[in-house]
Chain A
Amino acid sequence: MILRRARYELQGRLGGRLLAAFEGWLARRRHSRRRPGPFGPPLESSRKLKELMSVHYFEGRYADGAVPVAWVTSGFPVEVLRPLGFHAVYPENHAALCGVQRLVPALSDAAEREGYPRDLCSYARTDLGSLCSGRTPVGRLPRPDLLACCTNICQTVLYWYRALSARLGVPLVLLDTPYVYGSTKPHHLRYVQDQLEELVRVAERISGRRTDPEALLATAGKAKEGTELWGECLAAGRHCPAPWTAIDGFFHMAPIVSLRGTDACNAYYRMLRDELLDRARRGVGGLREEKYRLLWDNLPIWFAVRELSTLFAARGFNFVCASYTEAWAEAGARIDLADPLGSLSAAYTHVLLNEDLEHRRTLLGRLARDYQVEGAVLHSDRSCKPYSIGQVDLRERLARDLGLRVLLLEADHSDPRAYTAEAGETRLTAFMESFG
């Protein structure tokens, strides 16, 4: 056990870094002769991002048996688990990776063979398929000792994690966050906090540790700071030209989701922020020539990010902001170290996807104004109903209230079988042509 723990730490500090450095060297060699195309110079910070995430997955390979392992939904208050020594794995992040690498059809097939219909969320199919087949692009995911599920992003995670719990024979703790229609009621927040206290006791039993209040405060503080730093990175996009694209943002979002509450996460975002502000000062843009500024709503289309961003960039269209990335900047604002559990309860109840359409409409309106966008693409993601329901109305309101040109694009966040590239590109091109 001690040896395993030592190996976990060592691999995290050393092995992972070496691996990331080697992979980075290989990538640079491959791309050294590639012309930049319509994009501006790549972000220097990207190298560090790759290293950070590689280390995370690499040390994960040695986590089980060494430290308690939790599989966690992206919206779960991981701040209560980190002080107990849990290594947190994010199946959604893993599934996004699979989406980018176009592995979802094969993994989904494995899940479909088990009887999961293709109409289910593609993240869930990817994760269940990976579990059933044992296949993953990250080497190995550690087996969980605990499943931690919070329904603030959707109810589907409840059914997904329920299935994981049955398959793995692992306890599931649920943080059920009542949806916010306009405003929360006191008993809603009381419920969330009560559940948080209940589940912390379960997590303590599994980790064999009691929560150190100092450690909890420290983690919550780091999480708060991390979301603020992430917000500063995003805000750099307000400059004209924006120093990066929202598509970059989807990738650089990984630490605030998967490493929230850690020093490494915050150090990374300081570095990224500084680089972005420096570029903004020097007028270096995410695009070589930014002619139009757009907003992206909903999850990205992971399997087509490169093609789509190039399609837009080639005509000078830059996505300068996105509701999905913005959600993670908002999340930590309510964290208050004077009342960690109470404020965490409020923070995680008020996550973007747990708030109603009016809230989202307000957010999109604010983004449109602050980032001076002229148009928007609303990705109608068939795998994500909480995000997609209401987009037909949203499109009308954004067009009418803000005079934006808005396109509703039907696709999926990670299953390419649900997207017809040719038809999609035709529509996107026509959309761009409509700008004159």
Chain B
Amino acid sequence: MRAVALGVDVGSTTCKAVALDAAGRTVLERLEPADPRVEPQVERMLEELRAVAEPGAPVGATGYGRKRVRSSRVLTEITCHARGAFAHAGRPGLLVDMGGQDTKVIRIGVHGEVLDFAMNDKCAAGTGRFLEVILGRLRVPLAEVAGFARAADRKVAVSSTCTVFAESEVISLVAAGEPLSGIVRGLHQALAARVAALLRASADAAGEIEIWMSGGVAQNAAMVAALEEALGRAVAVLPRPQLVGAIGAALAVLPGGHP
């Protein structure tokens, strides 16, 4: 099946692109670290996708650099993530998207429409960058993070509300002999608490509504666990969590609308 719609999510950390067929299924996907020179990178990625697509397949663009792409339609990542999430779930829910530089909470309605949203994009301490910086400093590879956090038998709180000061705090904790596993768990709990506060800031997160996660940070099992703990609710990670936005952008230009 050839693709009939292309979607690109030009993030500040990663650039994602997908090609969808008429049924909305992914034919080809691409994910790369974002190049500051956005236009050549996006063009190259789109070229690869066009190779499997019908000629003239429309392009939907979203993300931080969405306006720098030659596209048929430009939509914010809020709208696109909602569409992408709904395409998978088919039900209303609350989506927590944790990317490299921002965290979004989007309340999705029965038709996949955005009912409400909240963003944490002013302070790194509420985003994936918080973990990246500190885990990097501790030299804990991302692949081992979940294992570390699970192994923690003690709660080690990280109380600084600023990424930079949290880094110093963590160094002190290590020097004081606190176990790395506890610190890693504490970091995730601190971030989860901030995300949970954002969730409550968005109107009625209470009730039986489902909670999903997307974004690069959703691949961190320790983060999912910490968020579940902070909310007291189950959180389901969407499949291919980093591509949700790009999928939503492609769906927005799918001829005939989303199936």
Of all chain B residues, the one with the shortest Cβ separation from A115 is: B201
A422 touching B159 in the complex, CB below 8 Å, given contacts A112-B197, A113-B197, A113-B200: no
Q: How far, in angstroms, from A322 to B183 measured CA to CA in the complex?
A: 40
What sequence of 0s and 1s flags, for each residue 166-180 of chain B, a beta carbon within 8 Å of any chain A beta carbon? 001100100000000
Q: Which residues of B contact A109 (CB under 8 A)?
A: 197
Q: Count of B residues near A, CB < 8 Å?
A: 11
The interface residues of chain B, by DSSP majority, are classed as helix
A113 and B202 CA atoms in complex are apart in Å by 9
Shortest CB-to-CB span from A193 to chain B, Å, is 44
Which of B165, B197, B200, B201 touches A420 (beta carbons < 8 Å)? B165
Which residues of chain B have C-beta atoms less than 8 A from A113's C-beta? Answer: 197, 200-201
The answer to whether A417 and B197 touch across the interface, beta carbons within 8 angstroms, is no
Whole-angstrom distance between the Cβ of B49 and the nearest chain A Cβ: 43
Closest beta carbon of chain A to B163's beta carbon, Å: 13
For residue B161, which residues in chain A have a CB less than 8 angstroms away from its CB? 417
In A272-312, the 8 Å CB interface with B consists of none
Expressed in whole angstroms, the Cα–Cα distance for A4 and B201 within the complex equals: 41
CB distance from A423 to the nearest CB of B (A): 7
When C-beta atoms are compared, the residue in chain B nearest to A117 turns out to be B201
Residue B72, interface by CB 8 Å = no
Chain A residues with CB under 8 Å of B162's CB are: 420
How many of chain A's residues have a CB under 8 angstroms from any CB in B? Answer: 9
Q: Mark A120-137, 1 if CB is under 8 A from B, else 0.
A: 000000000000000000
A contact residues around B159 at 8 Å (CB)? 416-417
Q: In this complex, what residue of B is CB-closest to A418? A: B161
Cross-chain contact A422 with B197 (CB below 8 angstroms) = no
Q: Are B201 and A422 in contact (CB under 8 A)?
A: no
Report how far A423 CA is from B160 CA in the complex, Å.
11
Smallest Cβ distance from B190 to chain A, in angstroms?
Answer: 11
User: Nearest-CB distance from A186 to chain B (Å)?
Assistant: 48
A416–B157 Cα distance when bound, in Å, is 14
Output the least CB separation between B241 and chain A (Å).
27
Chain A residue nearest to B203 (CB atoms) is: A115
Given the complex of chains A and B, what is the CA–CA distance between A417 and B172 in angstroms?
18
Q: Are A422 and B200 in contact (CB under 8 A)?
A: no
Q: Which residue of A lies closest to B164 (CB)?
A: A420
Say how far B125's CB is from chain A's closest CB, in angstroms. 11
- Closest chain-A Cβ to B107's Cβ sits at a distance in Å of 16
Contacting B at CB under 8 A, from A385-423, are: 416-417, 420, 422-423
- Residue ID in chain A nearest B197 by CB atoms: A112
Report A142-194 residues with CB < 8 Å from chain B CB. Answer: none
Nearest-neighbor residue (CB-CB) of A112 within chain B: B197
**Chain A residues whose C-beta falls within 8 Å of the C-beta of B200 in the assembled complex:** 113
Give the docked Cα–Cα distance between A113 and B197 (Å). Answer: 7
**A423–B197 contact, CB under 8 A?**
no
Cα–Cα, bound, A422→B201 (Å):
31
Cα–Cα, bound, A113→B169 (Å) = 27
Please determine whether A423 and B201 come into contact, CB atoms closer than 8 angstroms: no
Residues of B within 8 A of A423 (CB): 165
Whole-angstrom CA separation of A417 from B125 in the bound complex: 13
A182 and B201 CA atoms in complex are apart in Å by 44
Nearest CB in chain A: distance from B20 CB, A: 39
Report A411 CB to chain B, min CB distance, Å: 13
Q: Please, which residues of chain B bring their CB within 8 A of the CB of A420? A: 160, 162, 165
Q: Which residues of A contact B172 (CB under 8 A)?
A: 422
Give every chain A residue within 8 A of B169 (Cβ-Cβ).
422
Interface residues of B in 164-218 (CB under 8 A from A): 165, 168-169, 172, 197, 200-201
Least distance between B175 CB and chain A CB atoms (Å) = 12
Contact with B along A88-114 (1 / 0, CB 8 A): 000000000000000000000100110
- CB-CB contacts below 8 Å: B43-69 with A: none
Q: Which residues of chain B have C-beta atoms less than 8 A from A422's C-beta?
A: 168-169, 172
Given the complex, which residues of A lie within 8 Å of B165, measured CB to CB?
Answer: 420, 423
User: Which A residues are CB-close (under 8 A) to B201?
Assistant: 112-113, 115
**Complex CA distance for A46 and B142, rounded to whole angstroms:** 54
Residue of A nearest to B168 (CB): A422
User: Looking at B162, B172, B201, which has the most chain A CB atoms within 10 Å of its CB?
Assistant: B201
A303 CB to closest chain B CB (Å) equals: 12
Bound complex: CA A112 to CA B201 (Å):
8
CA distance A176 to B161 in the complex (A): 37
Contact with A along B125-161 (1 / 0, CB 8 A): 0000000000000000000000000000000000111
Name which residue of chain B comes closest to A113, CB basis. Answer: B200
Q: What residues on B are CB-neighbors of A112 within 8 Å?
A: 197, 201
Give complex CA distance A420, B165 in Å: 8
Q: Give the residue name and chain of the A residue nearest to B172 (CB).
A: A422
- Of all chain B residues, the one with the shortest Cβ separation from A105 is B159
16 intermolecular pairs with C-beta atoms under 8 Å apart: A109-B197, A112-B197, A112-B201, A113-B197, A113-B201, A115-B201, A416-B159, A417-B159, A417-B161, A420-B160, A420-B162, A420-B165, A422-B168, A422-B169, A422-B172, A423-B165
Q: Which are the 4 A-B pairs with shortest beta-carbon distances?
A: A113-B200, A417-B161, A420-B165, A112-B197
Known: A112-B197, A112-B201. 5 other contacts (CB 8 A): A113-B200, A115-B201, A420-B160, A422-B169, A423-B165
